[in-house]
Amino acid sequence: MASELDERDGFKDPSKIYPKREYVNVASTNQAARGIVRNELAMGGGDQNVSLDLKPMVASQYPFNAVKETVSGHITEIDDTPGAERMLFRHRTGAGVEIRADGTVIVASVHNTIRISGGDEKVIIEGDGEISYNGNLTLNVSGDYDLRVGGNYNVQVSGDVDHDIRGSYKELVHRNYQSTLKKNKTDYILGTHTETTLGSHNQFVKGSVKHYIEGSEDHFIGGTLKMTAEDEVFMTAPNTNIAAQSLTVIGDSGTIGGENIIGYDYNHYTGHSLTATDTISTNTAFITEQTTCKEFIGSLTGNADNATEAGRAGSAPLGPGGSAGTKVTGNGVSVDTTATELPTTTIMTDYITKSDRGVRLISLDNGDVLKNQIDKSVDYGGVSSRRLTTPEIRSKLRDPNTLSNMKFVGAQIAEGKLSPTYINATPPAIGRVVKNVPGAKRGITAIGRQSKGKTKRTQA
């Protein structure tokens, strides 16, 4: 009967909700108002690379903090504690809004956040800004999208990049432009490809270059065209034309001519003796009476047309004033002695290997030094093809195979991202470590300042 009277008089809660467990046998004044506990918004999760820069707050002092807490756990606070002035509107789930002493506004949501503006929206941030999405982000812009960056613009994408541009694409770079590709590049151009370079154009290729052109190809060069090859040069066409005011075609061996080739020259020299099996006919323009060549020099054995009388004489010398077959001069024209040097094997070897017009020896990126600076697969022992951050290195070292990869570990130590003492399991402050032995030991030196059950360090 007394219990029923107490409930009717307000000394007990008929709903059995109050007093809450934390207020049993203690003062019923809200603990947050007295500074015993502190109500916070739910700000779990987050991103380790994004710092919230929240300063620690001092505890509330009674009676400066006016707290109202509902049955389900909704809380409102208006705190006037000196140095900790704040306003808090907190849902029982932890979602809500907090305004701190320094004017920081925190908006926390444990589920979805929806913001709808019927008109325009403007956001002005005087300081820095960071946004971290742990899920996907989709941005739909029905009109134009303008982005202006006053400083540098850095984009890092761990996956693929796909651009679908329905209109034109224009790019203007006022300074240098650099592009680095670790793999292949493919361009498909359905129209005309025009490239204009007002400066120099350099192309360095370590591998091969192939051009397959179904139509024609034109090269118009205002200066000098140089082409050298360390092995061979092939040029094949049904009709090939080479024209020059001064032409030099030299070699210590090979073939010049063909069945229907007509030759016109000034002086002609042979590098070997012509035997009776060699045919020199009246159609050979440089040896006969009809020749336009002034002189043929070389060893000639056999009968030449228009030398029949010398042939019948048998012992008559062939050629004016010389031994048989050493010199034949056509039409009695005087000899031009301004002949060039005979291209012997020695001369051609020096020309190809030592002269400024010789073969250029090409060697790019010896030892793949430049390649390995871009692609770190070799330097990192196959663990990664790019440079890693310290958290990424720690994550990969959790794999025993990576931990035993001395090439990877050595590279990270050399780059200063991994301490040389990383392998030490004992912190530097610990003076000595004793291996585990069966049986319990109780130490005498306390570690830490725990109020209950101080732990001890074992003494060996």
- Which tens digits make up the pLDDT trace of 37-82? 888 888 876 677 777 878 888 888 899 999 999 888 899 999 999 9
> b/e map of 328-364 (b: 16 or more CB within 10 Å)?
bbbeeeeeeeeeeeebeeeeeeebeeeeeeeeeeeee
CA 7 to chain centre: 77
Answer yes or no: do 272 and 353 share one domain: yes
Residue 270 lies in a domain: yes
Q: What is the rounded distance in angstroms from the CA atom of residue 173 to the CA atom of residue 435?
A: 64
274: DSSP letter: B
Q: Which of 362, 390, 418 is the last residue of a domain?
A: 362
Burial level of 222, CB count in 10 A (0-12/13-18/19+)? exposed
Residues 109, 2 share a domain: yes
- Whether 352 and 403 share a structural domain: no
Residues 341 and 377 in one domain: no
User: What is the token pair recorded at 174?
Assistant: 């006022």
User: Do 287 and 374 sit in the same domain of this protein?
Assistant: no
Per-residue pLDDT at 365 = 85
Pairing assessment for the beta strands 105-108 and 267-269 based on DSSP bridges: unpaired
Bridge partner list, 456: 446
Note the pLDDT of residue 312.
52
**Dist CA 188 CA 331 (whole Å):** 65
Q: Which helix (H) or strand (E) holds 313?
A: helix 308-313
- Residue 272 has what pLDDT? 55
C-beta separation of 48 from 15 below 8 A: no
pLDDT of residue 87: 95
Claim to verify: residue 355 and residue 381 sit in the same structural domain:
no
Domain hosting 422: range is 364-434
Q: What is the pLDDT of residue 459?
A: 47
Residue 458 lies in a domain: no
Task: Say yes or no: 326 and 428 in one domain.
Answer: no
Residue stretches of the chain with pLDDT short of 70: 1-16, 45-46, 269-339, 425-460
Residues 281 and 346 in one domain: yes
281 and 352 together in one domain: yes
> Which of 95, 114, 133 lies at the terminal end of a domain, its last residue?
114
Residue 358: name the closest of 371, 349, 367 by CA.
349
Report pTM. 0.63
